[in-house]
Amino acid sequence: MRLTEFWRRMYEHFGEVYAESFASDHVMSELGGRTVRQALDAGWEAKDVWRVVCDTQGVSTLLR
């Protein structure tokens, strides 16, 4: 998954403003105690981060 697709899905699920806030502020134990942005910056694959977001935030099956 490319980062552009990752962010498109984030914006579609959360809305653009909240997606940015969620990605920067919400620490997730499933990402090793990191935020979405920190996990991506640390080298996590976008598809793996997206799976964690889907599993923990009730993302619609249409966006998975």
pLDDT at 53: 96
0.85 exceeded by the pTM?
yes
**For the chain, which ranges sit under pLDDT 50?**
none
Distance in angstroms (rounded) separating the CA atoms of residues 32 and 29: 5
CA dihedral (21, 25, 26, 32) in degrees, to 10, reads 130
Joined together, the tokens standing for residue 16 give 């653009």
pLDDT at 61: 81
